[in-house]
Copies of this chain bind each other. A is one copy, B any other.
Amino acid sequence: MPLDHEQLVAMYRALSGTRIAEQTITDLNKSGVLRGHHSGLGHEAVGVAVGMAVRPDDCVQMSHRSGMMLSHARGGYSLREAVLSQFGRAPSHYASLPGRPRTLTIVGLVGTWVPMSVGISMADRLRGKDTVTVTFFGDGAANEGAVHEAMNLAGARRLPMVFLIENNGMAVSMPTSEATAASDFAARAAGYGMPGVLVDGHDPVALHEVAEEAVARARRGQGPTLIEAKLIRWESHANGIADLRTPEEIEEAHRRDGVRQLRDALIGQGILSEADADAIDDAARAEVDAAVEEGRTAGFDMTVPPPMDAADAWRLTYAN
């Protein structure tokens, strides 16, 4: 179903807000106030669009790029929390919290995190639920064996899943074009007996449409879909790591910015006035700025915990 005006405005609000929050977090890292961020600038559209296409009881495993945007768009995760979490003052967007939309953690090894999402889907099926599991990972991670095994397993069991490849054209310094000779990752779907859909990862409306269709298909019992969202990240891989790309490549990313495009479209179609849009942006900026102030004042949580003995270690590590 095409988005109605209200939804489009909500989409813009989420895009604008998460862009402002992400830009702020990225800047705080560049200036040394925060440390060690994988900037999601340029990935807002995919996070927000997919977030709007799933139910709270669907399970989403988020990536290190668009997770914050997705959590925000699904509801229950404010921009304030997004900023404060960077200061160690609020749970991160990965946390599964009661009353919040259902999420699945990732782990520090890319690719490795994908198979467990297949298990979530299998468990839900065992319980007779009609939920869908969505798993995000990058173009780089897609070359890991575990991802292959997971997608094949989902296909073979016709699981209600969506595999979402955020193809930002790079894995740290490795251009996707050197990491695989495949013209696109969507082409891999046939090898697992599922449809593969290629979509412009900058375009939130197009993204929402394919995500909604894939989720619906899964919910109808027709099995998994592989969606490849092609986009360009604005920043280097992570704070402190040199970006080897040409300025032209990065300019291209800004030219295709989906946040601005949706803004222009909504204004062009008369859904929002310039002033409405500005008001949306300003509100987000105010929330973000206040959160930064709050975080800075609180300071980092750098306290060294008390000495730990074997019993503490056991309790933290084992359930029983």
Contact = CB atoms under 8 A, between A and B. Distances in A.
Interface string A165-191: 000000000000011111101011011
Interface residues of A, number: 26
A144 B178 CA distance: 23
A145 B112 CA distance: 11
Interface string A189-213: 0111110000000000000000000
A183 B189 CA distance: 11
A138 interface: no
Contact of A181 (B143, B178, B179, B194): B194
A92 interface: no
Contacts of A179: 152, 156
Given A145-B145, A156-B178, A156-B180, A190 B190 contact: yes
A187 B144 CA distance: 19
A148 interface: yes
A196 B183 CA distance: 14
Contacts of A187: 190-191
Given A190-B187, A192-B182, A144 B155 contact: no
B181 A156 contact: yes
A167 to B, nearest CB: 13
Contacts of A144: 145, 149
B182 A155 contact: yes
A41 to B, nearest CB: 28
A140 to B, nearest CB: 12
B188 A183 contact: no
Interface string A218-254: 0000010000000000000000000000000000000
A193 B188 contact: no
Nearest to A177: B156
Contacts of A183: 190, 193
Interface string A251-277: 000000000000000000000000000
A182 B191 contact: yes
A146 interface: yes
A158 interface: yes
Nearest to A154: B181
Contacts of A188: 188, 190-191
Contacts of A193: 180-183
A156 B171 CA distance: 15
A197 to B, nearest CB: 14
Contacts of A156: 178-181
A152 B143 contact: yes
Nearest to A150: B145
A104 B123 CA distance: 42
